[in-house]
């Protein structure tokens, strides 16, 4: 047998190892063995581009432990995240527990960083380090913990190496020292948790200031706008507490004076003590107004308002009612998410309100204008206590037996309003007056005197205010009755003819309006005054709902003379004598004008006199100049009277 070459046996094993040893059978290779089971897993990444841990779905990952297994022994870690086709990301990670604790104690909760995370991650360009660098240095200088001191030195070294180069800290500090700033460095003005001031000139020439607590600065992606997230004190209708707002402002070019910005840090105001004193007083006023009216029963606060020129007169401050009627505008008190023992609203009891809380209340408060009938927000600085005209009311009530009767009835009602009523709860406890007669005979004036005597708001409503459709009228009437109940006000339903006309078969909608008013009158518990020119056309059902009916006849010459004299006395103020004689007043009283027309004529004459630069007292000549043009279309008889009066000597 021929000997095989050396190494042939080993060669044959290599060549034949893939040849089946038997037909239909292959030689098995060494390979991992599957377990024949199915598993559902979830992969958690440490960051957008860094794989983390893969665990069975439903099982919580220990990402923090995995992160620490990668350079976790370092107190401070600068992570550079590099992905092809993307910009490099930089983030500084505070990994040491002691360093995290110091940082958290210095900064408090931040809107830009989760200071309770492990590790605490600060994204470039590290604005938080800039804002709190002085506090961190102070801890480094004063701490006796050598490990903390070394770790804070690492942080300082990082600041010196990176912040000074990337932020241009010296240039920023130079701007701030000179009271200026550029849009590029605007972020550096706003340190988290500091007080900021907003100013507006809407209320007149003097700026109105409003303080808040700054939380976060950001810029829109197109750099056209900048945003501030702030917190300030407010009232949600039941509670006081902090609310969150985001303010938007337009970007700017060049260098700006810091105090010219629409919002800037409180520390830059030139009179901080004086401003704080004013804002504290305004905050106390806000709380007082929110708590309720002048008496314990009323909810709402009646004030005289001297705010923007388009609103004057009495307003009813009622933030509770405003929140109830307009839920979309209700403030949302912040949740106490940082308090581990409570997830409820972060409410503040008024006894615990600090000076910083007081100055962070809004400059405006919700209310209702009794003159223009607008619902909105009124500047607190424009609100003043009401000056009641009680003497004028008493003079009116002493003018006739009917007026004296009204005076006694309302005086008795104001003290014994709950001592009578039906056995059915909340029924028949109100007091309803009906004043009827021609226009200008004193119906509305009497209603005003009732309100002045009782020191109550007078809430006026007319057909035009209530709408036309059945649903609209019912909703508006119900809102009016709800308000007078809440405010303890007097409702004047002026020219109520459309709601009181006799029901008939030919007008279902009008019948519905009458039924609605009858029902609301039955269950209201305040004073309601109805006025009309057509008392005889009323539905009979109203007679049992009306407690007092007073007729106002056309004015006599004596009554007209009294009204003329009152106009001169009211406008002339401290003038000793009006510009008219007794003979002039007697002649004026013969003109068959109603009370409203007399007031209108005098008002036009007063404007006419002021334009001429006269002595300040309306003269007979002024009246003769304006009488032909101040009354509009009048009857031929009255037109002749006016012509004879104006041509007389």
Distance, in Å, from the CA atom of 368 to the CA atom of 373, rounded to the nearest integer, reads 6
Distance, in Å, from the CA atom of 318 to the CA atom of 293, rounded to the nearest integer, reads 9
| Claim to verify: residue 396 and residue 475 sit in the same structural domain | yes
| Claim to verify: residue 355 and residue 411 sit in the same structural domain | no
Distance, in Å, from the CA atom of 493 to the CA atom of 203, rounded to the nearest integer, reads 32
| Claim to verify: residue 570 and residue 545 sit in the same structural domain | no
Q: Classify residue 639: in a domain, yes or no.
A: yes
Q: Classify residue 455: in a domain, yes or no.
A: yes
- Low pLDDT (below 50) residues in the chain: 14, 27, 36, 203, 294-298, 337-343, 415-416, 422-423, 572-576
Which residues are CB-contacts of 123 (< 8 A; sequence separation ≥ 6)? 89, 90, 91
Q: Which helix (H) or strand (E) holds 427?
A: none
φ, ψ for residue 504 (rounded to 5)?
-145, 175
Picking from 563, 626, 629, 618, the residue whose alpha carbon sits closest to that of residue 595 is 563
Distance, in Å, from the CA atom of 78 to the CA atom of 88, rounded to the nearest integer, reads 13
- Tell me how many domains the chain contains: 4
Give the model confidence (pLDDT) of 131-171 as tens digits. Answer: 999 999 999 999 999 999 999 999 998 888 887 777 788 88
CATH code assigned at 479:
3.40.50.300
| Claim to verify: residue 418 and residue 545 sit in the same structural domain | yes
297 upstream amide cis, omega within 30 of 0: no
| Claim to verify: residue 482 and residue 542 sit in the same structural domain | yes
| Claim to verify: residue 125 and residue 141 sit in the same structural domain | yes
Q: Classify residue 317: in a domain, yes or no.
A: yes
The 3-class SS string of 368-414 reads EECCCCCEEEEEHHHEECCCCCHHHHHHHHCCCHHHHHHHHHHHHHH
| Structure tokens given for 128 | 């938080």
| Claim to verify: residue 379 and residue 398 sit in the same structural domain | no
Which domain-ending residue is among 384, 412, 445? 384
119 upstream amide cis, omega within 30 of 0: yes
pLDDT at 21: 53
φ, ψ for residue 110 (rounded to 5)?
-120, 145
| Claim to verify: residue 421 and residue 513 sit in the same structural domain | yes
Cite the DSSP H helix spans in 536-581: 557-572
pLDDT at 298: 47
Picking from 300, 295, 291, the residue whose alpha carbon sits closest to that of residue 484 is 300
Distance, in Å, from the CA atom of 184 to the CA atom of 223, rounded to the nearest integer, reads 10
| Claim to verify: residue 576 and residue 441 sit in the same structural domain | no
Give, to the nearest 10 degrees, the angle between helix 595-611 and helix 620-630. Answer: 120
Q: Classify residue 130: in a domain, yes or no.
A: yes
Q: Which residues pair with 433 in a beta bridge?
A: 529, 548
| Claim to verify: residue 541 and residue 579 sit in the same structural domain | no
For residue 563, the 8-state DSSP code is: H
What's the domain range around 600?
557-647
CATH code assigned at 571:
1.10.8
**Residues 455 and 487 sit within 8 Å (Cβ to Cβ):** no
Which domain-ending residue is among 134, 167, 200? 167
pLDDT at 473: 84
Q: Which helix (H) or strand (E) holds 139?
A: helix 133-142
Handedness of CA 48, 52, 57, 62 (dihedral sign): negative
Which domain-ending residue is among 507, 532, 551? 551
Q: Classify residue 180: in a domain, yes or no.
A: no
| Structure tokens given for 292 | 């309720």
| Claim to verify: residue 380 and residue 433 sit in the same structural domain | no
φ, ψ for residue 265 (rounded to 5)?
-60, 140
Give the model confidence (pLDDT) of 222-258 as tens digits. Answer: 999 999 999 999 998 888 999 999 999 999 999 999 9
Q: Quick one: how far is CA 64 from the chain centroid?
A: 44
| Claim to verify: residue 491 and residue 440 sit in the same structural domain | yes
Q: Classify residue 205: in a domain, yes or no.
A: no
Distance, in Å, from the CA atom of 211 to the CA atom of 259, rounded to the nearest integer, reads 14
φ, ψ for residue 297 (rounded to 5)?
-75, -30
Q: Classify residue 510: in a domain, yes or no.
A: yes
Q: Classify residue 426: in a domain, yes or no.
A: yes
pLDDT at 264: 95
């Amino acid at each position: 047998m021929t000997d095989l070459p050396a190494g042939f046996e080993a060669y044959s094993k290599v060549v034949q190892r893939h040849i089946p040893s038997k037909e239909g059978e292959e030689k098995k290779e060494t390979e991992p063995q599957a377990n024949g089971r199915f598993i559902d897993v979830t992969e958690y990444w440490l960051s957008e581009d860094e794989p983390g841990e893969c665990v069975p779905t439903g099982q919580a990952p220990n990402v923090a432990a995995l992160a620490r297994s990668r350079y976790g022994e370092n107190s401070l870690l600068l992570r550079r995240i590099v992905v092809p086709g993307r910009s490099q990301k930089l983030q500084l990670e505070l990994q040491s527990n002691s360093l995290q604790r110091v940082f958290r104690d210095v900064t408090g909760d931040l809107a830009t960083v989760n200071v309770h995370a492990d590790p605490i991650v600060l994204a470039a360009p590290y604005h938080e380090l800039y804002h709190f660098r002085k506090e961190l240095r102070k801890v480094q200088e004063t701490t006796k913990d050598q490990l903390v001191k070394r770790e804070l030195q690492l942080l300082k070294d990082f600041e010196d190496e990176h912040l000074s180069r990337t932020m241009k800290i010296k240039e920023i500090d130079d701007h701030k020292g000179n009271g200026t700033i550029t849009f590029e460095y605007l972020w550096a003005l706003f340190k988290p948790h500091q007080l900021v001031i907003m100013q507006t000139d809407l209320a007149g020439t003097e700026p109105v200031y409003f303080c808040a607590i700054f939380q976060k600065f950001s810029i829109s992606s197109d750099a056209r706008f900048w945003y501030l997230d702030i917190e300030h004190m407010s009232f949600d209708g039941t509670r006081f507490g902090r609310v969150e707002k985001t303010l938007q402002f337009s970007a700017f070019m060049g260098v700006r004076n810091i105090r010219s910005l629409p919002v800037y840090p409180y520390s830059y105001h030139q009179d901080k003590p004086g401003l704080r004193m004013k804002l504290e007083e305004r905050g106390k006023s806000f709380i007082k107004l929110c708590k309720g009216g002048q008496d314990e029963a009323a909810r709402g606060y009646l004030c005289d308002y001297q705010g923007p020129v388009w609103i004057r007169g009495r307003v009813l401050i009622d933030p509770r009612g405003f929140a109830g009627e307009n839920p979309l505008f209700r403030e949302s008190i912040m949740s106490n998410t940082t308090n581990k023992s409570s997830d409820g609203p972060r409410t503040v009891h008024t006894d615990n309100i600090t000076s910083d809380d007081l100055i962070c209340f809004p400059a405006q408060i919700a209310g209702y204008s009794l003159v223009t009938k607008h619902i909105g927000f009124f500047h607190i600085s424009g609100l003043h206590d009401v000056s009641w005209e009680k003497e004028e009311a008493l003079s009116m009530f002493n003018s006739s037996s009917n007026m004296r009767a009204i005076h006694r009835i309302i005086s008795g009602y104001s003290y014994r309003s709950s001592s009578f009523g039906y056995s059915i709860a909340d029924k028949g406890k109100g007091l309803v007056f009906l004043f009827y007669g021609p226009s200008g005979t004193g119906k509305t004036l009497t209603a005003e005197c009732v309100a002045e005597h009782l020191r109550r708001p007078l809430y006026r409503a007319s057909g035009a205010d209530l709408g036309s459709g059945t649903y609209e009228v019912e909703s508006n009437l119900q809102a009016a009755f709800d308000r007078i109940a809440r405010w303890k006000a007097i409702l004047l339903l002026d020219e109520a003819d459309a709601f009181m006309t006799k029901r008939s078969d030919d007008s279902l909608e009008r019948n519905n309006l009458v039924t609605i008013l009858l029902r609301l009158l039955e269950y209201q518990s305040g004073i309601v005054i109805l006025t009309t020119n057509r008392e005889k056309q009323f539905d009979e059902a109203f007679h049992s709902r009306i407690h007092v009916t007073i007729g106002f006849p056309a004015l006599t010459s004596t009554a007209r003379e009294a009204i003329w004299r009152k106009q001169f006395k009211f406008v002339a103020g401290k003038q000793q004598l009006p510009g008219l004689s007794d003979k002039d007043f007697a002649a004026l009283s013969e003109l068959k004008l109603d009370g409203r027309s007399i007031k209108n004529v005098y008002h036009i004459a007063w404007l006419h006199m002021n334009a001429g630069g006269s002595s300040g007292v309306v003269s007979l000549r002024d009246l003769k100049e304006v009488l032909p043009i101040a009354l509009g279309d009048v009857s031929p008889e009255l037109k002749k009277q006016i012509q004879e009066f104006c041509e007389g000597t």
